[in-house]
Each structure stands twice: as structure tokens, then as C-alpha cells.
Amino acid sequence: MTVTITDVQTILTQPDNSRLIIVKVTTSEPGLYGLGCATFTQRFHAVHAAIEKHIKPFVLGRDVSRIEAIWQMAMVHGYWRNGPVLNNAISGIDMALWDIKGKQAGMPLYQLLGGKCREGAAVYVHTDGRDPQEVEDRVRQVMAEGYRFIRVQMGGYGGQGAAMVKPEGAPDGAYFDPRDYARSMLKMIEHMRITFGEEVELLHDVHERLHPIHAIQFAKDVEPFKLFFLEDILAPEDIKWFEQLRRQCSTPIAMGELFNHPREWQPLISGRLIDFIRMHVSQMGGITPARNVAAFANMYNIRTAWHGPGDTSPVGHAANLHLDLWAPSFGIQEWCRFPELVYEMFPGLPEVRDGYMYPNDQPGLGIDIDERLAAKYPCQDAVEWWTQARLPDGSPARP
């Protein structure tokens, strides 16, 4: 008998810093439901409305087995497509349907994708500090916890150290100086490589903080320090510059957390212009498109490094893990080390031991949510501060 979607529930919760959006799809089979991540933390009300008012009425009554068909139709049903709000809303349904299919099959999701290529997914974690010494101390701490891949940042996304001279009447904001950023990060990365030798893999996220030609200079400057990858060296709006970058240095490049349209990643993969794709899986529309892109990238020997900070929900992290275990072209997984409360709220949240993330081998995504506990931590409304980035003269900049 056909199993159909009987309800879609949007669960908003904020157990830690990020506002999380979890979608629960219930079915006509008693006790059978699935969970999906639809987390766009800065615009959670918009995603909530998109699910409740548009996507839910569209999917109610549909056959849960038709994941691909539902995804394809959901993407064009609004005619205008490929945006962060609707992609996340569609992801909530898509992941939940994969979760349901796994539960029906009695198999973990990685089995449905083609089975494991590896037993655990190697992860990288973040370190930060006010100066190179503090960053070094943090790196030592996480190395002692077993991590071998470590993202090194200084002062958040950096560039605040300069004695900035602002014009009179400059507005408030999260100011940074791109030139100071490039100088101070280069020194910090050099310090890490000299201090730790070759024993640790270092990663760094530029967060699109440089003008394109300075970004190319920076990628060349850090080349001798053999980063595992350099992330978001250019903005999605500047992807044509990757051709120039590639001709000038061999620093490995990771890109993609801001992508939401296939035209953004297609030319970078087919042109062999990047080395790691690191989309935010819910932001690109869920497991269905992520699986396709991982297979496409594999044909070019480009590896995966799915976005996995605190604003990827635990359900999203579980989806990342299943993709990681299967993907022939897996590279690395970003990991945010959730506090204990999040483990309590999301039973089955993947565990990390000695630098590897492991599944629990339950059917589907293998993760659940304690809805009563989630309700005790409602999302807080706030006008985001860190994304109000400004250059030293006060002009708005990409955060």
C-alpha cells in the first residue's frame, strides 16, 4: 500500500547559538516519520513561512517513495527557483523523505546511496585566538583531543587589529581592514607551520574578505605553508577570477557554502578550478542535489567538504555524515563540537572519536529530536550584528 505524507511540522529551536529549523514529515504508516534540516539561521521566519504556507500544502498526500520526483517538482513549483529560503524549505522535506526511505528499508542512509567507502569521516575543527600565540595554544588543545585537521583563524574572520581611521560620522558596524587581514593572517599561518611542522593539516577561511587581486596574492603568499585548503578565497559573485588564481598557484581551494544555484558550481567543477566543494547541504536543497554534485565532482577528482558549523543542525550533520561515508570523492568534514544539551535534544547525533565521525547504524539518518526539550529553547529574534560588516571608511562589505 502506498505510504503518503500526512503532516509536515516545522520545529524551531535554539539550544546553542544558532536558530535551528527542523522539519518533521509524518506519514500514513503509524509511527513512521522522517526528519530534515531546513536551517537558514539568519532568516528562519522566512523559511518557516515557506514551509508552512507553500511547501506543506504542496506535499501533503504525496507518495513518500517518490523523493526524486517530489524534489524536481518542488524546485519548479514556484516557477522562480534556486534561492536560500526555498532551497532550505525543500531540503527539510527531502532529507525527511530519505530518512523515511531508510527506515522503510531498515538500512542506514549510506546503504541507500551505495554503501560505505570508509568506516568514519575525518573531521576538521575550528580554532581561534587574538594573536598567533593564542591560536597556537588552541591548536595544541584540539590536537591533544585527537584532531589532525584544524582550521586556524585569528580574531574571528580577522582584520580588526589595525588602528583603523574611520571618517567622521562613521556608522556602527563590524569593521575590518582587508589589508591588515592579509598581513596578519599570513604571519599567523607561517607561525603555525613553523611551530607544528608537517604533523598537522592546517585550513583557513578567508570568508571573501579580500578584493580579487589581493585574494590571488594571498593564495600565492600562503602556498609555501601547504594548507589542506584555503576556503572562500573569492565570493560567489567573483567566480570568474578562479581562472586567474589557478594559473598562479597551487594552494588547494575550497568553495561553496554560499552557493544555491547549479550555475555557481558547474563551471568551477568542470573547469577544475577548485579542489573541494563545500556546499551547505540544506541551502542547496538537500541530500538529492548533494548526492548528484558529489557524483559530478568525483568525475573530476574534486572532493567533498560539506559545510558543518553550528548553523548546520544536528539533522544536517547526520545527512553530511551519510554522504561522507558513501562519497567516493570524500575529502573532509567540518565539525562544530556541539555542547551536551544538543546531544540530549537530538538523540543519535553522530559522535566523533579521535578525529573521525561515526554513524550509529540506525535506519535512515539515525537521528531523532526530543520535541519537548526543543520547545524549552525557542528561537530568539535578533538583528544579526556580525553580518553588518564594514570597510574602514564605513562602506558596507561582505561579512
The residues that touch Mg ion, with contacts defined as CB under 5 A, are 205
In the complex, the smallest distance separating the C-beta of residue 361 from Mg ion, rounded to whole angstroms, is 30
List, by residue number, the catalytic residues: 157, 207
In the complex, the smallest distance separating the C-beta of residue 233 from Mg ion, rounded to whole angstroms, is 11
Instruction: Select 138 or 280, whichever has its Cβ closest to Mg ion.
Output: 280
Q: Which residues contact 268 (CB under 8 A, 6 or more apart)?
A: 239, 242, 255, 274, 277
